[in-house]
Amino acid sequence: MRIACDIDGVLLDTVITFCEIFNKKNGTSYQKSDVTKWEFFLDWNIPEDDIWDIFFQIYEDSMSTPFIDDQIPVIMKDLNQMHQVSIVSARTPEYREYILEKLQYHGILQGPHYNELVLLIHKPYDLKIKQDFDVFIDDNPKLAEAINKQKKKILLLYDQPWNQEIDDAENVIRVKNWTEIDQYFKKVEKNEDNNEL
């Protein structure tokens, strides 16, 4: 299977860093758990441009952004042996070097862990889904809506406070952590083996 693995919200806990920078600038005390919508800035009464300024700042220096799960390198390496893993992000191409540096720092290397780093623009939301992958590992609730129209593709929706309103569907499966991602693929591989017998 061709697997597209997202960065923000799946490999990195970017919103934790976002809240820290935002709070410092604005004297607020927001936490990740307060980000309960994809377009949370509408509720917070903040212009979208201000939000992006902070994200761009993080994209240029992600070294302090928390890595979501220390097991990722081991699980991803296994996955990439059985399947084809690509890292697919809406961080735009000018941030490529910073992303590679951060991934390397956490032991995620092109070759053993993933084949390709694909960088796209962040809108329209269904742009990612239109890429040639079978399974998307992503936290974006907007992708759950977009993938509805592409039933052959599967979204493993990485559980985050901003995607709680999405219900599981035939091709939308919520995963709480990387152990559950690992278990999902082990189950699929087992079923494929059984089908071949």
Which stretch in 2-10, 23-31, 80-88, 103-111 sits in contact with Mg ion by CB under 5 A?
2-10
Position with the least CB separation from Mg ion: 9
How many beta carbons lie within 10 A of that of residue 58, not counting itself?
21
Name the segment binding Mg ion (CB under 5 A); options: 6-14, 67-75, 104-112, 159-167.
6-14
Residue 82 tokens read as 């059985």
Question: In the bound complex, what is the minimum distance in angstroms from residue 66's beta carbon to Mg ion?
Answer: 14
Cβ distance 105 to 63 under 8 Å?
Answer: yes
Region binding Mg ion by CB under 5 A among candidate stretches 64-72, 80-88, 106-114, 136-144: 136-144
Within residues 31-70, the interface with Mg ion by CB under 5 A covers none
By the rule CB under 5 A, 6 interacts with Mg ion: yes
Q: Is 181 helix (H, G, I), strand (E, B) or coil?
A: helix
CB of 7 to Mg ion, least distance (A): 7
Q: Give min distance, CB of 3 to Mg ion, in A.
A: 15
Which residue lies nearer to Mg ion by CB, 41 or 189? Answer: 41
Q: Would you say 131 and 88 are in contact if contact means Cβ atoms under 8 Å apart? A: yes
CB of 139 to Mg ion, least distance (A): 4
Q: Does 8 bind Mg ion (CB under 5 A)?
A: yes
Maximum Cα interatomic distance, the chain, rounded to a whole number of Å: 62
Nearest partner of 156 among 140, 146, 164, judged by Cα: 140
First to last CA, the chain: 19
List the one residue from 5, 9, 133, 147 that touches Mg ion (CB under 5 A). 9
Q: Residue 130 in 3-state DSSP? A: coil
